[in-house]
Amino acid sequence: MAEYEFHQIAAIFPMMEGNEFTGLVADVSAHGIREPIWLYEGKILDGRNRYRAAKKVGVSFDTKTFEGTDIEAIERVWSLNRTRRHMTPSQAAMADARRNKMVDAYAAVKEAAKKRQDKGRKQGGGDHRSQEYKNRLVEQIPQSDDSREDEEPKPPAKPAPKTRDTRAKAAGTNAKYIDVADKILSDHPEMAADIESGKKTLSQAQREIRRKELATKTPPPPSGKYRVIYADPPWKYNDAMAISRDGLGESYGPAVAHYPPMTISELCVLPVRDLSEENSVLFLWTTSPLLEDTFQIVRAWGFKYKSSFIWDKVKHNMGHYNSVRHELLLICTKGSCTPDVKKLFDSVQSIERTDKHSQKPAKFREIIDTIYPNGPRIELFARERTSGWDAWGNEADAA
């Protein structure tokens, strides 16, 4: 059996793996190779998986040679495999990104070669293109009755640019995914293989990239001491609740979609005990599902629970047992740290939530500043800087 290499154009689509390839091997073993394997420049352009299956079971196969340009070969692979392969929306978008990148690359190579040839002719060097390339170009041009054999053929033009909506429709995916796939293939090509194999969705890859970017930006803990500490931790939830996005089978955990989460153990070991003055107060945000676990953090940071505020978000929120429309702001103290100002605010604050994930109303910081106007203060896991407050968090300087 002849040995063949795979043409790089064939890499637009991922190789079959697992049960999909096992099923192909069984079919080939029972029925043989029913479609020819296409070659281009002596390498397999289409039929890599049939070729692998044929080698595995030891059956013969027919080959055909594709005659055309590089860009035509790309479109050939796309047209043959897009409907043949069963892909998720993420895989389809990544395949389209590879196809689009290849078209651009091959078109750029042809354009650069043409410029070099034109420059050579102007300098008296003549036409240095190979006769084989000329012949291939001539075959692509319809010849009229009065066409002359010595007429200079033009290289095939790059196809007109396609909009992301057009590309998405042709690939059977979402226009947003086209943008994401293009960016990942361009900026994070190391992530592409996991998406193409189905190990990760585009959404999961995007979140992983975001977490890594934020992790590299996390500043060292501050070295000062603070009387007032305000914290909104990046909670890591253990449940498997997922919300469908765009109706395409992609899902995401609400918290992990927006920031790199931390476990209870990871939060407990943060050096908050060292940041706090001997007499200090901690305002700590938590949610109903994590309320019991939050007290581990309170104790690990050296504080004792005293009371709480309830933020009534007004709008409906997802939950397993009820519509969880509130969050809790625990008030905890270390040493002796009762409020400086004896003004009592209602424990329940009804403020309609915004659409920005986990954004807390400014009202609560105003309450803290009102009853605790004295002493240095810091916000942990801050997303922005506030006058009069120090901030620690990987988004504070990027906001």
How far apart, in whole angstroms, are the C-alpha atoms of residue 354 and residue 217? 26
Q: Which residues pair with 326 in a beta bridge?
A: 312
340, exposed or middle or buried, with CB in 10 Å at 0-12, 13-18, 19+?
middle
- Residue 248's pLDDT is 37
- Residue 164's pLDDT is 84
- The CATH architecture assigned to 222-392 reads 3-Layer(aba) Sandwich (3.40)
Domain with CATH 3.40.50.150 in the chain: 222-392
How far apart, in whole angstroms, are the C-alpha atoms of residue 309 and residue 351? 12
Residue linked to tokens 């702001």 = 329
Going by CATH, does the domain composed of 8-66 fall within 3.30.70.270?
A: no
- Residue 84's pLDDT is 75
- For the stretch 173-177, contacts whose Cβ atoms lie closer than 8 Å and that sit 24 or more positions apart, written own/partner, are 173/89, 173/90, 173/92, 173/93, 173/96, 173/248, 174/89, 174/93, 174/246, 174/248, 176/246, 177/89, 177/90, 177/92, 177/93, 177/202, 177/248
State which amino acid sits at residue 62.
D
End-to-end CA distance of the chain: 62
- Residue 130's pLDDT is 55
What string of pLDDT tens digits covers the 399 residues of the chain? 789 999 999 999 989 888 989 999 999 999 999 999 999 999 999 999 999 999 999 999 999 999 999 999 999 999 888 877 788 999 999 999 999 999 988 888 877 877 777 777 666 655 555 555 545 544 544 444 444 444 444 555 555 557 889 998 888 898 999 999 999 999 999 999 999 988 999 988 887 887 777 666 666 777 889 999 999 998 887 644 433 333 333 333 444 444 578 889 989 999 999 999 999 999 999 999 999 999 999 999 999 999 999 999 998 877 788 988 999 999 999 999 999 999 999 999 999 988 765 689 999 999 999 999 999 999 998 888 899 999 987 665 544
Domain with CATH 3.90.1530.30 in the chain: 8-66
Contact present, 347 and 308 (Cβ < 8 Å): yes
21, exposed or middle or buried, with CB in 10 Å at 0-12, 13-18, 19+?
middle
